[in-house]
Amino acid sequence: MSRIGNKAVAVPTGVTANVEGQTVKVKGPKGALQVVVHDDVSVAMDKGTIKLEPRGESKRARSMWGTSRTLVANLMAGVTKGFEEKLEITGVGYRAAVQGKSLQLQLGFSHDVNFPIPEGIAITTPKPTEIVVTGIDKQKVGHVAAEIRGYRPPEPYKGKGVKYANEYIFRKEGKKK
């Protein structure tokens, strides 16, 4: 029995939700999103809530039940509040700046890294060593943040690189003489 899947997803005020077969479409103040729910899970709209149930007792159906419910809940959160991921840059001379529709990163390479900002994502740099990725699609925000971090992941000796704001870097001791 899924504890997460059991909870119905409430539709907040100001948000319109529509269920067509396996597709859940949501429109709110920040934009519109949709998700196609797995075939092993049935979706129904009921009095301002969206209820999900597994279609069978197979392991696959039970595991997709909780996942599908979370995907629908993320749609609701995205169109009302949106999602945000903060990145921090550590290292001498490492910095970032938004120029037009691209993010320019100086990460110790012989060249600057130009990252094109995808559609539906907003990137700001409050400080040269801080990047804030925002958007309504949680998966897209996380993917963009992971791509930016992937250019120079933090290394364990000095901690130089791009890291998530809440990430802990396990530090190693250097060589001994």
Residue 14: CA count within 13 A, CB half-sphere: 10
Q: Which CATH class is domain 83-164?
A: alpha beta
pLDDT digits (tens, 9 = 90+) for 138-153: 999 999 999 999 999 9
3-state class of 163 per DSSP? Answer: strand
The pLDDT assigned to 1 comes to 59
pLDDT at 78 (0 to 100): 92
Do 155 and 135 form a contact (C-beta atoms < 8 A)?
Answer: no
Tokens, residue 139: 């998966």
Please determine whether the domains at 3-80 and 83-164 fall in the same fold group of CATH: yes
Residue ranges per structural domain of the chain:
3-80, 83-164
> Average pLDDT in the 93-103 region?
93
Task: Report residue 97 as tokens.
Answer: 């700046």
Residues 167-177: tens digit of each pLDDT: 999 999 988 88
DSSP output for 86-139: EEEEESTT-EEEEETTEEEEE-SSSS-EEEEPPTTEEEE-SSTTEEEEEES-HH
CATH domain 3-80 topology? Outer Surface Protein A; domain 3 (3.90.930)
pTM over 0.85: yes
Q: Tell me if 106 sits within 8 A of 94, measured CB to CB.
A: yes
Q: Return d(Cα 103, Cα 148) in angstroms, integer.
A: 9
